[in-house]
Amino acid sequence: MDQKRIKKKQEQDTSIKNKLTNLFELPKDVVLNLPLITIVGNKEIQIENYKGIVEYSEEMIKVKTTVGVIKVNGKKLFVKLITSENIQITGFIKSFEYMT
Amino acid sequence: MFLVIWKAIKGYAFIEITGFSVERFINLAINKGVYIWNIQHKRNSVIMNVSLPALELLDTCAAKTRCEIKIINEYGLPTLFRRYCKRKILLFGVILFCGIIYLLSSFIWEIEVNGNEKLVTSEILEFLKNEDTGIGSFTFRLKGKDIEASLLNRFKNISWVSTEIKGTKLIINMVETVDKPEEKDTTIPCNIIAAEDGVIYSIVVSAGHPLVKKKDVVLKDDLLVNGELVVKEDEESTLYKYVHAEGKIIAKTMDQFEIYESKAIIKKIYTHEHKKEYRLSVMGHTLPYLRVKPKFEKYDQLIYNKKLEIGKDIILPFELIMIQYNEYSTKTINRSEEEVKKILQYRVKRKIEEDYIKKDKEVIHQDITYMKENQGIKAKVDLVVLKSIGESQNINVEERRNDLIESTDGENNKPAN
């Protein structure tokens, strides 16, 4: 019961936040802690505000974010840079998918 | 660009990680704030670059996630330093090199003197050398104020001097005083006499009694203006006053000079054959370096000097000298009379400009006659020049008075005898 209540409260919170950000047109990536994803052609993808790497191989990389896991498919994928806020993947990107 | 330099300074390692949960390892490492880049997947392992100071942190991460770390290679300054520190002689050499450079750059190797127009630079350098502040003296011992003071003491016509030590160069800036106009002692009585033969063109006298007038012909040593003035004259005695005769006397004078120019001239024709020789000079002493004795019969030497320096201000006592020998052959060319005359005219013009016009003399007439002589032509130039011919001559007042007394005595004595 408790957990359910907390979850409900959290949902309410986020919805209020959501409404406020919509009202004042604030940047969502900052206020709601959503990932900001930049894709350059099919060669580079940069994800800011990520939580961690779930799976890593040459063909596929799964990155955990606040909106779920993001899956990047491609060939010769290569993490060029990784810090606590930012991950930069280069290579030949085939697809990009939200796994919720 | 800056990132690359930063990485190189901090140092980084190229590591290989094997294990079951490499992803966890990476997450953990990043949470601890380790900077990781260039992650590559290779069959069963992951290769990545990490900064060197983070390697210890990675060990704990690896222990937690049961991964194994293998360092493939290390790059950067700390690694390089560690590697070369083991080579004692190399280290010694590097330190010695730095020491020698430091030692050599703490001497004065060049002195630059600016602003001297009448003083000769070599004289100043010689003086500095005698004062132990010349080339080769220690920079730390030099005191700008002492040098300035000694220079001011020694050379009276310096009005302001400043010194500056820039690297191994001593720069002396100075301003010279304007020469005092020559003061004429107007208390000494004198006459004005003619320095040359001529015809008086104009005469302006400010003190004394003029004895000649315009269009008079005067000879050398003729008295032009008398400094002995008769103040009072009566039957018994004459009273004289002696003054410093002053005036400007300009006369027409004749001048003459000759210039010879031969028809044949020797011309150099370069054969475009050249040889180079390199020498190294250390503190003014030349060491033969690569001797190439030219087998040319006639040659010109071109010497290029290159001072070795660090930056702009630190000059080392080494000098690279390159000598180039250019071979030439000579050929005598006979010029035509017209050409030689043209050259003569030009030379005459130059000579007049230098000898007359620059010395405040005016040439009012010139006459050039050409004469053939030997293998060339001689130009004989007759000039009529307007110039000042006055020359002061001191009067010995005592002697003059005695003379006068004697002569008057003589006159007085005559009838008595």
**Residue B407 and residue B403: Cα distance in Å, rounded?**
6
Sequence-ordered list of residues with C-beta below 8 angstroms from that of B296, at least 6 positions apart, any chain: B273, B275, B325, B327
Strand ranges for chain A from DSSP E: 36-40, 44-48, 52-56, 60-65, 68-82, 86-99
| Best residue in A47, A60, A84, A89 for a mutation probing chain B (most B CBs within 10 Å) | A84
What number of C-beta contacts closer than 8 Å exist between A and B?
44
> Which residue reads 């030099």 in tokens?
B142
Calculate helix-pair angle for B55-65, B22-31, nearest 10 degrees.
140
> Which residue reads 């040459």 in tokens?
A58
Residue B413: per-residue pLDDT: 46
Residue B261: per-residue pLDDT: 82
Say which of A52, A56, A83 has its CB closest to residue B41: A56
Q: What is the pLDDT of residues A12-55, one digit of tens each?
A: 666 787 888 888 888 877 777 889 999 999 999 999 989 888 88
| Best residue in B25, B30, B46 for a mutation probing chain A (most A CBs within 10 Å) | B30
Q: What is the pLDDT of residues B24-57, one digit of tens each?
A: 888 888 888 888 888 888 888 889 999 888 888 8
Residue B16 buriedness (CB in 10 A; 0-12 / 13-18 / 19+): middle
Residue A10: per-residue pLDDT: 67
Contact between chains at B37 and A80 (C-beta distance less than 8 A): yes
Residue B414: per-residue pLDDT: 44
Q: How far is CA B344 from CA B261, B301, B364, in A?
A: 7, 31, 20
ipTM here? 0.73
pLDDT for residue A5 is more than 80: no
Contact between chains at A79 and B22 (C-beta distance less than 8 A): no
Q: What percent of chain A has pLDDT over 70?
A: 92
Q: Are B161 and B173 in contact (CB under 8 A)?
A: yes
Q: Mean per-residue pLDDT for B95-102?
A: 92
Q: Are A87 and A30 in contact (CB under 8 A)?
A: no
Say which of B27, B35, B46 has its CB closest to residue A83: B35
Q: Mean per-residue pLDDT for B194-223?
A: 84
**Residue A79 and residue A89: Cα distance in Å, rounded?**
4
**Residue B394 and residue B191: Cα distance in Å, rounded?**
6
Confidence of residue B408 (pLDDT cuts 50, 70, 90): low
> Which residue reads 């015809």 in tokens?
B199
Given its phi and psi angles, is residue B103 left (phi above 0), alpha (psi -120 to 50 degrees) or beta?
alpha
Q: Are B15 and B71 in contact (CB under 8 A)?
A: yes
**A78 CB within 8 Å of a chain B CB:** yes
pTM: 0.43
How many Å lie between the alpha carbon of B62 and the closest alpha carbon of chain A?
A: 16
Residue B414 tokens, joined: 């005559």
**Residue A86 and residue A100: Cα distance in Å, rounded?**
21
Calculate helix-pair angle for B77-85, B2-10, nearest 10 degrees.
40
Residue B416: per-residue pLDDT: 42
Contact between chains at A82 and B30 (C-beta distance less than 8 A): yes
**Residue B388 and residue B361: Cα distance in Å, rounded?**
8
Contact between chains at B46 and A77 (C-beta distance less than 8 A): no
- Greater confidence (B282 vs B406) lies with B282
Residue B1 tokens, joined: 């660009």
**A3 CB within 8 Å of a chain B CB:** no
Residue B143: per-residue pLDDT: 82
Q: Mean per-residue pLDDT for B281-302?
A: 74
pLDDT for residue B259 is more than 80: yes
CA-wise closest residue to B76 among B17, B5, B15: B5
Q: Are B200 and B213 in contact (CB under 8 A)?
A: yes
Residue B126 tokens, joined: 């010689």
**Residue A50 and residue A81: Cα distance in Å, rounded?**
13
**Residue B344 and residue B341: Cα distance in Å, rounded?**
5
- The residues facing B371 across adjacent strands are B378
- Phi, psi at B277, each rounded to 5°: -135, 135
Residue A46: per-residue pLDDT: 94
Residue B407: per-residue pLDDT: 66
Q: Which helix (H) or strand (E) holds A17?
A: helix A2-24
**Residue B364 and residue B366: Cα distance in Å, rounded?**
7
Q: Which helix (H) or strand (E) holds B173?
A: strand B169-176
CA-wise closest residue to A61 among B37, B45, B31, A69: A69
How many Å lie between the alpha carbon of B45 and the closest alpha carbon of chain A?
A: 10
State the sign of the Cα–Cα–Cα–Cα dihedral B135, B136, B142, B146: negative
Contact between chains at A56 and B37 (C-beta distance less than 8 A): no
pLDDT for residue A94 is more than 90: yes
Q: Which residue of A has its CA nearest to B35?
A: A83
Q: For residue A53, which residues of chain B lie inside 8 Å, CB to CB? A: 23, 26-27
Say which of A55, A58, A83 has its CB closest to residue B30: A83
Contact between chains at A56 and B38 (C-beta distance less than 8 A): no
